[in-house]
């Protein structure tokens, strides 16, 4: 496929503010793709060259891009910088300069998707001495043959500035439409995606081998599966009335780890399925020593603890371990323990369809005593009183709460279902749980705040059914002055000129941003309001009363991992029951 087709599609996607149109544009692009290029097209749409779990990240610095543009178009770097100041984006600079170039079509070869992808892949994987020069040459090679619109994206993609706002669910739906003519097939594709976390690969299998191959998709050790997620409850009574006799496990507040083992090789994937293997050497060693299987996939929560006292550290300490450098020192200062809580695969057996009690029994058999791996604490309860007691004992010990598990439920990859229900400690006057919301815009701030350039943010929750982000609050509290400044800087990097197509909002912030960052907020209450679109029923949506941020941007969550509209409705109802309960008392 000619790269021009992709560049034109990017341009159209960038311009639209309507989700349906976004879907049409994508589906017609994918209808033109074939088995040889569909994976590449999908990666490029997401500004990538491979699935996130591979750790292959495409990225170049602005300096390199400026040099490449200067050399490709025969101008000096100062001129590129000047244009950058004027236009505000290096992609537009390249587009302008490519437009000025004369006789460019005389010897140039039209760019294909394959060639652009190959060069980007080589840029992403170049390392060692001479890699900067190689990246520069690969970029210049593309720019030499680029038409103006193509040049815009050839620069934006590796800079990470492609702001198309297409998420995984949108792509899955577009693939279903493009290949089968209806949305129905999306569910099957989603299942395959949940088992391999690689959209490009799922698309390739669909195009190459057809729909049956998607039905028969299998788990592979070394390729992460998308994690099962928990619903939330307001009380022990609610959990027991839903599940009856169930398991209750301590809820540790650390990193979720999905660990894969094959012989003496170990992989560790985060909740977002990034490859974190190198960050946690003690977990690799612990797995090799303590996990009894030739091949396995299991899950647990890693948490830093004080070796002297055996106490768990709060999340802020554990997060210190998420780093690329100084790993050895950090591992000595904040050693991790891993509390295993589920088994996905072991020695040829896919455990995901088996009930929790069987998975857990097998997990218990396979973990040997040792320093790093342990089983999550678990009790079986039949009454709300017993569950409450266990919950209280967890909270007293500084844990976050509990996760109750349906004894008979399978492992449901990539979905938030009632098979797991969390109950977290709550604070007086606050909601029983925080919300993870997506930042979709910001306000410049008046009065005292105008000096920071940011007075508050507009935030949204995720509507899973329609794959959109619907606003729920304007948040201005909870920020320190430094955070206001930092937040503005971060958001300016992802600013977009109009409301992104997947954002549904009545409010118009001063600056719109690509829905990218998730931040945790709390509030006094969830209320109904005509100003926000979350859960809109034609008259009112849901809103947060006195929202404030707690913590900072959650790098472990993608926008689609944010709290959903459906959960907000559930939280609102639970809050009502609690209030009504009080009134009756
Ligand atoms: P949340 O992130 O608040 O939705 O809570 C769900 C998360 O709790 C999971 O993704 C795990 O990272 C974490 N967690 C901690 N302990 C457990 C446990 N025993 N079982 C399942 N998840 C747990």
Q: What is the mean pLDDT of residues 48-64?
A: 92
pLDDT at 584: 34
pLDDT, residue 257, reads 97
**Is it the case that residue 250 has pLDDT exceeding 80?**
yes
Spacing, Cα 403 to ligand 1 middle (Å): 7
CATH of 434-580, one of 1.10.287.990, 2.40.50.140, 3.40.190.10, 2.60.120.260: 2.40.50.140
Query: Which residue has the CA at smallest separation from atom 8 of ligand 1?
Result: 251
372 CA from centroid of ligand 1 (Å): 18
Which CATH number among 3.30.70.1560, 3.40.50.300, 3.20.20.70, 3.30.470.30 corresponds to the domain 233-427? Answer: 3.30.470.30
Tally of residues, the chain: 585
- For residue 416, the ligand 1 atom closest to its alpha carbon is 4
Interval between CA 45 and ligand 1 midpoint (Å): 31
Residue of the CA atom closest to atom 5 of ligand 1:
230
Residue 407's pLDDT is what? 98
Q: Do 557 and 221 meet the contact criterion of CB atoms below 8 Å apart?
A: no
Hey, which residues does 518 pair with through a beta bridge? 438
**Residue 125 CB contacts under 8 Å (≥ 6 apart), including other chains:** 56
Where does the pLDDT of residue 425 fall: very low under 50, low under 70, confident under 90, or very high at 90 and above? confident
Residue 51 CA to residue 200 CA, distance in Å, equals 7
**Residue pLDDT, tens place only, 214-227:** 989 999 999 999 99
- Are 134 and 122 spatial neighbours (Cβ–Cβ below 8 Å)? yes
Other CB atoms within 10 A of residue 323 CB: 11
pLDDT greater than 60 at residue 581: no
For 450-459, the pLDDT digits (tens) are: 788 898 999 9
Tell me the CA–centroid distance for residue 189 and ligand 1, in Å. 26
Closest residue by Cα to atom 11, ligand 1, is 256
The 10 Å CB-count burial string (b at 16+, else e) for 202-232 is bbbbbbeeeeeebeebebebebbbbbbbbbb
Q: Which of 227, 252, 391 to mutate to test the pocket of ligand 1 (most atoms within 8 A of CB)?
A: 252
Calculate how far, in angstroms, residue 430's C-alpha sits from the geometric centre of ligand 1: 21
What separation in Å is there between the alpha carbon of 251 and the centre of ligand 1? 6
Which ligand 1 atom sits closest to the C-alpha of 376? 19
* Minimum-distance ligand 1 atom for the alpha carbon of 251: 16
Is the pLDDT reported for residue 307 higher than 80?
no
The pick from 301, 302, 304, 413 for probing ligand 1's pocket by mutation, whose C-beta has the most ligand atoms within 8 angstroms, reads 301
Give me ligand 1 centre to Cα 498, in Å: 36
pLDDT-wise least confident of 116-125, 230-239, 245-254: 230-239
Residue nearest to atom 18 of ligand 1 (CA): 251
Residue 170 has a CB neighbour count (10 Å cut-off) of 22
Query: Residue 369 and residue 291: Cα distance in Å, rounded?
Result: 9
Quote the pLDDT of residue 262: 97
Distance of CA 228 to the CA centre of its chain: 14
Task: Establish how many alpha carbons lie within 13 A of residue 12's alpha carbon, considering only the half-sphere containing its beta carbon.
Answer: 17
Six token digits for residue 179: 């290949």
Of all protein residues, the one whose alpha carbon is nearest to atom 12 of ligand 1 is 256
Asked if 26 and 13 touch (Cβ cutoff 8 Å), the reply is: yes
**Does domain 48-159 match CATH 1.10.3260.10?**
yes
Name the token pair of 276.
């974190």
| Calpha distance 16→22 (Å, rounded) | 7
Res. 426: pLDDT tops 70: no
Asked if pLDDT for residue 579 goes beyond 60, the answer is no
Paired tokens of 570 = 């559930």
**What is d(CA 278, CA 215) in angstroms, rounded to the nearest whole number?**
34
* Per-residue model confidence (pLDDT) at position 104: 54
CA–CA dist 194, 197 (Å, integer): 6
Q: What pLDDT was estimated at residue 576?
A: 61
What's the Rg (C-alpha) of the chain? 25
Q: Which atom of ligand 1 lies nearest, measured to the CA of 232?
A: 4
Domain ranges for the chain, please list them. 48-159, 233-427, 434-580
DSSP state for residue 400 in the 8-state scheme: -
Contact residues of ligand 1, CB 6 A cut-off: 230, 249-252, 256, 271, 301, 341, 376, 403, 422
Pick the residue whose CA is nearest to atom 14 on ligand 1.
Answer: 251
CB 247 within 8 Å of CB 380: yes
Candidate of 229, 230, 258, 433 to mutate for ligand 1, largest count of ligand atoms within 8 Å of Cβ: 230
**pLDDT score of 418 more than 70:** yes
Q: Is 521 within 8 Å of 550 (Cβ atoms)? A: yes
User: Is residue 282 over pLDDT 80?
Assistant: yes
CA distances for 53 relative to 217, 227, 370, angstroms? 18, 13, 29
**What is the rounded average pLDDT of the residues 8-14?**
96
Q: Is the dihedral of CA 462, 484, 87, 157 positive or negative?
A: negative
39 pLDDT higher than 50:
yes
pLDDT digits (tens, 9 = 90+) for 154-209: 999 999 998 888 889 999 999 999 998 888 999 999 999 999 999 999 999 999 99
- Rounded to the nearest angstrom, the distance between the alpha carbon of 573 and the centre of ligand 1 is 23
Q: What is the mean pLDDT of residues 105-130?
A: 90
Question: To test ligand 1's pocket by mutation, which of 268, 422, 433 has the most ligand atoms within 8 angstroms of CB?
Answer: 422
Spacing, Cα 208 to ligand 1 middle (Å): 37
pLDDT 10s digits, 516-544: 999 999 888 898 999 999 999 999 999 99
Q: In the prediction, which pLDDT does 146 show?
A: 95
For 6, phi then psi, to 5°, come to: -70, -45
452-507 pLDDT, tens digit per residue, is: 889 899 999 999 988 999 999 999 888 888 899 999 999 999 999 999 999 999 99
Which residues have a catalytic role annotated? 251
Tokens of 507: 């409010």
């Amino acid at each position: 496929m000619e790269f021009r087709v992709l560049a034109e599609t990017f341009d159209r996607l960038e311009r639209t503010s309507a989700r349906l149109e976004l879907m049409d544009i994508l589906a017609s692009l994918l209808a033109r793709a074939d088995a040889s290029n569909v994976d590449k097209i999908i990666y490029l749409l997401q500004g990538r060259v491979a699935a996130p779990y591979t750790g292959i990240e495409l990225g170049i610095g602005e300096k390199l891009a400026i040099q490449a543009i200067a050399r490709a178009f025969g101008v000096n770097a100062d001129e590129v910088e000047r244009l950058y100041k004027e236009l505000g984006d290096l992609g537009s600079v390249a587009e302008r300069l490519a437009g000025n170039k004369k006789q460019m079509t005389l010897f140039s070869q039209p760019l294909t998707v394959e060639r652009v992808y190959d060069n980007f892949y080589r840029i992403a994987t170049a390392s060692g001495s001479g890699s900067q020069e190689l990246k520069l040459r690969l970029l210049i090679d593309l720019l030499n043959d680029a038409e103006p619109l193509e040049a815009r994206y050839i620069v934006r993609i590796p800079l990470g500035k492609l702001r198309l706002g297409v998420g995984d669910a949108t792509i899955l739906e577009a693939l279903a439409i493009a290949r089968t003519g209806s949305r129905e097939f999306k569910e099957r594709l989603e299942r395959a995606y949940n088992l391999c976390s690689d959209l490009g690969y799922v698309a390739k299998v669909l195009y190459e081998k057809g729909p049956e191959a998607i039905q028969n998709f299998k788990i592979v050790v070394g390729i992460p599966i998308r994690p099962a997620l928990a619903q939330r409850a307001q009380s022990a009574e609610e959990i027991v009335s839903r599940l009856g006799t169930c398991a209750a496990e301590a809820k540790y507040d650390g990193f979720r780890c999905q660990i894969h083992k094959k012989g003496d090789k170990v992989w560790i994937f985060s909740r977002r399925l990034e490859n974190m293997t190198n960050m946690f050497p003690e977990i690799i060693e612990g797995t090799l020593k303590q996990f009894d299987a030739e091949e396995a996939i299991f899950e647990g929560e890693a948490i830093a603890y004080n070796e002297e006292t055996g106490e768990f550290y709060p999340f802020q300490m554990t997060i210190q371990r998420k780093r690329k450098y100084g790993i050895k020192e950090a591992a000595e200062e904040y050693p991790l323990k891993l509390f295993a809580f589920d088994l996905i695969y072991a020695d040829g057996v896919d455990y995901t369809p088996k009930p929790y009690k069987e998975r857990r029994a097998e997990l218990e058999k396979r973990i040997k005593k040792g320093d790093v791996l342990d089983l999550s604490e678990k009790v079986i309860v039949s009454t709300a009183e017993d569950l409450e007691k266990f919950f209280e004992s967890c909270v007293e010990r500084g844990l976050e709460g509990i996760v109750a598990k349906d004894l008979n439920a399978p492992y449901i990859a990539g979905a938030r279902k009632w098979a797991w229900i969390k109950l977290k400690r709550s604070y007086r006057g606050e909601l029983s749980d925080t919300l993870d919301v997506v930042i979709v815009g910001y306000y410049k701030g008046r009065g005292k705040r105008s000096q920071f350039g940011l007075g508050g943010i507009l935030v949204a929750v995720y509507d899973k059914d329609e794959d959109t982000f619907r606003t729920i609050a304007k948040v201005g509290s909870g920020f320190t002055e430094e955070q206001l400044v930092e937040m503005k800087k971060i958001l300016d990097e992802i600013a977009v000129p109009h409301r992104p197509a997947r954002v549904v909002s009545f409010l118009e912030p001063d600056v719109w941003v690509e829905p990218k960052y998730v931040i945790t907020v709390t509030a006094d209450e969830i209320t109904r309001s005509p100003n926000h679109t979350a859960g809109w029923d034609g008259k009112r949506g849901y809103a947060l009363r006195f929202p404030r941020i707690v913590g900072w941007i959650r790098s472990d969550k993608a926008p689609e991992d944010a709290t959903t509209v459906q959960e907000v409705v559930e939280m609102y109802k639970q809050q009502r029951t609690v209030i009504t309960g009080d009134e009756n008392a």
